[in-house]
Amino acid sequence: MESPDFSKGLVPAIAQDAETGEVLMVAYMNDQAWEETLRTGRAVYWSRRRGLWRKGEESGNHQDVVEIRIDCDLDTILLRVHQHGGAACHTGFRSCFHRRRDGDGWQVVGEPLFDPAKVYGKESR
Amino acid sequence: MESPDFSKGLVPAIAQDAETGEVLMVAYMNDQAWEETLRTGRAVYWSRRRGLWRKGEESGNHQDVVEIRIDCDLDTILLRVHQHGGAACHTGFRSCFHRRRDGDGWQVVGEPLFDPAKVYGKESR
pLDDT digits 0-9 by tens, B46-93:
999 989 999 999 889 999 999 999 999 999 999 999 999 989 999 999
Q: Is residue A35 within 8 angstroms of chain B, CB to CB?
A: no
Q: Tell me whether residue B44 is in a domain.
A: yes
Q: Is residue B105 within 8 angstroms of chain A, CB to CB?
A: yes
User: Would you call B72 and A21 a contact, using CB atoms and an 8 Å cutoff?
Assistant: no
Q: Tell me: the pLDDT tens digits for B12-54?
A: 999 999 999 999 999 999 999 999 999 999 999 999 998 999 9
Q: Tell me whether residue A29 is in a domain.
A: yes
Q: Tell me whether residue B38 is in a domain.
A: yes
Q: Is residue A16 within 8 angstroms of chain B, CB to CB?
A: yes
User: Contact, A13 vs A28, CB < 8 A?
Assistant: yes
Which residues in chain B are closer than 8 Å to A78, comparing Cβ atoms?
A: 23, 97
Residue B84 pLDDT: 96
Report the gap between the CA of A22 and the closest CA in chain B (Å).
7
Backbone angles phi, psi at B14, to 5 degrees: -90, 135
Question: Closest partner residue to B16 among A23, A93, A96, by Cβ?
Answer: A23
Task: State yes or no: pLDDT of A57 exceeds 60.
Answer: yes
Question: How many structural domains does chain B have?
Answer: 1
Q: Is residue B82 within 8 angstroms of chain A, CB to CB?
A: no
CATH code at position B78: 3.10.20.810
Q: Tell me whether residue B67 is in a domain.
A: yes
Q: Tell me whether residue A1 is in a domain.
A: no
Task: State yes or no: pLDDT of A64 exceeds 70.
Answer: yes
Which residues in chain B are closer than 8 Å to A98, comparing Cβ atoms?
A: 69, 72
- Which residue in chain A has the smallest CA separation from B35? A104
Residue A118 pLDDT: 85
Report the gap between the CA of B42 and the closest CA in chain A (Å).
14
Report the gap between the CA of A89 and the closest CA in chain B (Å).
8
Question: Closest partner residue to B76 among A26, A78, A93, by Cβ?
Answer: A26
Question: Considering the entire predicted model, what is its pTM?
Answer: 0.94
What letter would DSSP give residue A16? E
Q: How far is CA A104 from CA A4, A86, A88, B46, B76, in A?
A: 37, 30, 27, 22, 18
User: Contact, B100 vs A67, CB < 8 A?
Assistant: yes
Q: Count of H helices and E strands in chain A?
A: 2, 8
Domain boundaries, position A82: 11-112
Q: Tell me whether residue B94 is in a domain.
A: yes
Would you place residue A58 in the very low, low, confident or very high pLDDT band (cuts 50, 70, 90)?
Answer: confident
Backbone angles phi, psi at A83, to 5 degrees: -90, 110
Q: Tell me whether residue A5 is in a domain.
A: no
Which residues in chain B are closer than 8 Å to A93, comparing Cβ atoms?
A: 72
Task: Report which of B17, B76, B66 is spatially closest to residue A97, judged by C-alpha positions.
Answer: B76
Q: Tell me whether residue A58 is in a domain.
A: yes
Residue A121 pLDDT: 63
Question: Closest partner residue to A2 among B67, B76, B106, by Cβ?
Answer: B106
Report the gap between the CA of A69 and the closest CA in chain B (Å).
4
